[in-house]
């Protein structure tokens, strides 16, 4: 199975690459599966309807069996960049599985729950376990990602659920 770890933030000075790398490093435990970081910034996506759609984005989304969304919380929701990236493809998302890793001052869980609703409309099944990192306790100076070792288990649980559902959903594509 192939999984994309999608960085939800495109903000200058963002911390999301650190969180994405942490998840990718833990994914090395998942033998036989591939995990790659997907940076929305690399695709220079226009706001939906305002420019030429980027075919490379749709092809990348199509090529994956599942996703791990790294979402931060902006004003109690996901970033506009992530919502636009989700809106920018359609059937390419259908019948895939996703895990959500969130962060924010309250673990980013409002953004994570909002993301679930959006993903449901794109026929993406979000697994239950949502590793949620806190800006006060899992980061130093709100900028250096240093989660405690105890946080890794949630990510491993999420991988297990994600891979199981991704396998099941592959049978109906």
Ligand X SMILES: Cc1cc2nc3c(=O)[nH]c(=O)nc-3n(C[C@H](O)[C@H](O)[C@H](O)COP(=O)(O)O)c2cc1C
5 touching ligand X, by CB under 6 A = no
Distance CA 47, CA 25 (A): 32
Furthest C-alpha separation in the chain: 46
# binding residues, ligand X (CB under 6 A): 13
| 147 scored as a contact of ligand X (CB under 6 A) | no
> Which residues in 69-128 contact ligand X (CB under 6 A)?
72-76, 104-106
CB nearer ligand X, residue 2 or residue 11: 11
Does residue 2 interact with ligand X by CB under 6 A? no
Q: Which DSSP category does 18 fall into?
A: H
Task: Select from 6, 14, 124, 126 the one that contacts ligand X (CB under 6 A).
Answer: 14
Provide the H-helix boundaries in the chain: 16-27, 55-63, 80-87, 109-121, 152-170
CB of 71 to ligand X, least distance (A): 9
The answer to whether residues 86 and 118 touch, using CB atoms and an 8 Å cutoff, is yes
């Amino acid at each position: 199975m192939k999984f994309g770890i999608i960085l939800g933030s495109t903000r200058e000075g963002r911390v999301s690459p650190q969180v994405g790398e942490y998840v990718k490093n833990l994914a090395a435990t998942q033998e036989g599966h591939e995990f790659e970081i997907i940076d929305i910034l690399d695709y220079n996506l226009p706001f939906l309807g305002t420019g030429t759609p980027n075919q490379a984005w749709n092809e990348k989304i199509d090529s994956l069996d599942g996703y791990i969304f790294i979402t931060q919380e902006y004003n109690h929701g996901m970033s506009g960049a992530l919502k636009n990236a989700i809106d920018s493809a359609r059937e390419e998302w259908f019948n895939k599985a996703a895990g959500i890793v969130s962060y924010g001052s309250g673990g980013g869980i409002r953004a994570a729950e909002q993301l679930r609703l959006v993903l449901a409309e794109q026929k993406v099944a979000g697994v239950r376990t949502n590793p949620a990192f806190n800006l006060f306790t899992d980061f130093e100076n709100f900028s250096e990602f240093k989660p405690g070792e105890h946080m890794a288990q949630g990510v491993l649980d999420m991988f297990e659920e994600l891979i199981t559902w991704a396998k099941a959903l592959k049978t109906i594509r």
